[in-house]
Chains A and B, each alone.
Chain A
């Protein structure tokens, strides 16, 4: 796909994402009903959950593009993986900031080893490892390969980590019983959540495409400059 199309597509998605965010925030603050047990603070759920979805979705892209990069050797796949990782890490951070905040206000504790939040914390460190190996090699090509390996192994291990953490939790239930989404979701709340999921995804994809086209353009410029010099 030509770069121009991707860049424009990216801009369109980003704009739609921002618009979606505006709609989402209006819904969150003015429209959606208040959850019975937790009160107003529960509304952070509409930021927290879509961010988590994007964080893991992005990592899926990282792992998939990384695997294909190792197999096919096409630089663009690596650019895609790295671009997805950047966005992914941002949203992972948002999850880790909103989760404890919610917990503190709703239940009085910042951290309760809630399985999904724990998994997200581990995901954050896997992202960290991804960027660390990329930037600390002498030969940049090696760094890209290393990061692809981190992505692939991470993606394969995450389901296992999730299973094990859930199982551990089932043995050692903590006093605070967290039900982040409430016993059932009222249709209006569900709608708000869906709007959140869509706008966060669009925002991420928009940013991802922009970042990808930038990475490809930067690479091409470097190649051209080297060609001109020799």
Chain B
């Protein structure tokens, strides 16, 4: 089916470009590790246990680092007008959006796993009985984040202020994701049963679905010149 083929083409192209340039993954990956180092020196671990606050640290690192990468989503597209070629093709704008979100999600999720891995290493975290649930919570949160971030990255790329505008536009909207994501992660790290986080996962899922849906509808108005 052409629609899926078009989405797949965009995902493949974005990931191939990222593989060739390593622009964003390098920046986000370095951020993750360096943030971990700074966090180590910003906590007095004789007073505060890293395990207790790790959930917040992980998600905030993901948000700040993720925004670095997501802000550059349309950077390579702007060179040589390549994105114009995409926009004037028969690919529907929502397909382009879904493709971009998918590619960004892959990148961000890799970084999310990296953050958890690095923080586990640095702070001796115990990931609890249900690492799969942890992975799921991160995935759902990342998806919602990427959906909003990609939409507003297209917006900020069209302004003079550029990427500096992105935090202002996106951070207020991320509050639900942070609240439910950190809660789910924190509970899992504290060893609580999966039933305790079911509600959080549902909210994260709803947030992600809503974000992707709204983004798919609104993207065409954002890229129109």
A165→B165 contact, CB < 8 A: no
With A150-B169, A157-B173 as known contacts, state yes or no: A167 contacts B179, CB within 8 Å.
Answer: yes
Smallest Cβ-Cβ distance to B169: which chain A residue: A129
Q: In whole Å, how far is B34's beta carbon from the nearest beta carbon of chain A?
A: 27
- Indicate if A16 sits at the interface (CB-CB under 8 A): no
Q: Mark B168-194, 1 if CB is under 8 A from A, else 0.
A: 110111011001100100000000000
Q: In whole Å, how far is B25's beta carbon from the nearest beta carbon of chain A?
A: 27
Contact of B160 among A122, A129, A137 (CB under 8 A): A137
Q: In whole Å, how far is B72's beta carbon from the nearest beta carbon of chain A?
A: 19
How many Å lie between the Cα of A152 and that of B151 in the bound state?
12
Size bin of chain B's contact surface: 20 to 34
- Indicate if B210 sits at the interface (CB-CB under 8 A): yes
B158→A142 contact, CB < 8 A: yes
B225→A153 contact, CB < 8 A: no
**Chain A residues within an 8 Å CB radius of B159:** 132-133, 136-137, 143, 146
Q: Mark A87-122, 1 if CB is under 8 A from B, else 0.
A: 000000000000000000000000000000000001
With A133-B155, A156-B214, A165-B175 as known contacts, state yes or no: A149 contacts B203, CB within 8 Å.
Answer: no
How many Å lie between the Cα of A136 and that of B159 in the bound state?
5
Q: Mark A123-157, 1 if CB is under 8 A from B, else 0.
A: 10110110011001111001101101110111011
Size bin of chain A's contact surface: 20 to 34
With A149-B222, A152-B218 as known contacts, state yes or no: A157 contacts B160, CB within 8 Å.
Answer: no
**Chain A residues within an 8 Å CB radius of B203:** 163-164
With A137-B158, A137-B160 as known contacts, state yes or no: A125 contacts B172, CB within 8 Å.
Answer: yes
A161→B168 contact, CB < 8 A: no
Smallest Cβ-Cβ distance to B166: which chain A residue: A129
B180→A164 contact, CB < 8 A: yes
With A122-B172, A165-B179 as known contacts, state yes or no: A153 contacts B218, CB within 8 Å.
Answer: yes
**Chain B residues within an 8 Å CB radius of A128:** 168
Q: In whole Å, how far is B4's beta carbon from the nearest beta carbon of chain A?
A: 26
Smallest Cβ-Cβ distance to B160: which chain A residue: A136
Q: In whole Å, how far is B78's beta carbon from the nearest beta carbon of chain A?
A: 14
**Chain B residues within an 8 Å CB radius of A168:** 179, 183
Q: In whole Å, how far is A86's beta carbon from the nearest beta carbon of chain B?
A: 18
Of A129, A133, A165, the most chain B CB neighbours within 10 A belong to A129
- Indicate if B195 sits at the interface (CB-CB under 8 A): no
- Indicate if A160 sits at the interface (CB-CB under 8 A): yes
A164→B179 contact, CB < 8 A: yes
How many Å lie between the Cα of A181 and that of B13 in the bound state?
57
How many Å lie between the Cα of A166 and that of B3 in the bound state?
41
- Indicate if B107 sits at the interface (CB-CB under 8 A): no
B158→A156 contact, CB < 8 A: no
**Chain A residues within an 8 Å CB radius of B160:** 136-138
How many Å lie between the Cα of A163 and that of B203 in the bound state?
10
- Indicate if A198 sits at the interface (CB-CB under 8 A): no
- Indicate if B148 sits at the interface (CB-CB under 8 A): yes
- Indicate if B161 sits at the interface (CB-CB under 8 A): yes
- Indicate if A70 sits at the interface (CB-CB under 8 A): yes
Smallest Cβ-Cβ distance to A156: which chain B residue: B214
How many Å lie between the Cα of A157 and that of B176 in the bound state?
9
How many Å lie between the Cα of A153 and that of B155 in the bound state?
12
Smallest Cβ-Cβ distance to A143: which chain B residue: B159
A selection of 18 A-B contacts at a CB cut-off of 8 Å is: A70-B218, A122-B172, A125-B168, A132-B161, A133-B159, A136-B160, A136-B165, A138-B160, A142-B224, A146-B159, A154-B173, A156-B210, A157-B173, A160-B210, A163-B203, A164-B203, A168-B183, A171-B183
10 shortest interchain CB distances as A-B pairs = A164-B176, A136-B159, A164-B179, A122-B172, A160-B176, A136-B160, A129-B169, A157-B173, A125-B172, A161-B175
